[in-house]
Amino acid sequence: MLGIIALTIGGAVIVVTLLSLTRAKAWWVRIWDFPRLQLAVLAALALALWAFDAQWLVWPQIAFTVLLLAVLLYQAALV
């Protein structure tokens, strides 16, 4: 159950971080340029939950962990 929650929160944080990197001018894309601290906290929460439930020998889970860590570091650097 923790893995599903972490996957949902982490996936959403990854998607909105990638959206903020685009050059689109739509308001629903540009709105993700501002809640950097909140996104970093959500990424840290998802990473903590994911650490309890992940199987570390399966490559999709390793890739998700690396992406989530990259998002956390990127958002924290912008804060």
Query: Which own/partner contact pairs does 68-76 have at CB distance under 8 Å and 24+ positions apart?
Result: 68/10, 68/13, 68/14, 68/43, 71/13, 71/14, 71/17, 71/39, 71/43, 72/40, 72/43, 72/44, 72/47, 74/17, 75/17, 75/36, 75/37, 75/39, 75/40, 75/43, 76/40
Which residue spans within 1-79 are E strands per DSSP?
none
**pLDDT, tens digit only, all 79 positions of the chain:** 888 999 999 999 999 999 999 999 999 999 998 999 999 999 999 999 988 887 777 888 889 999 999 999 999 999 9
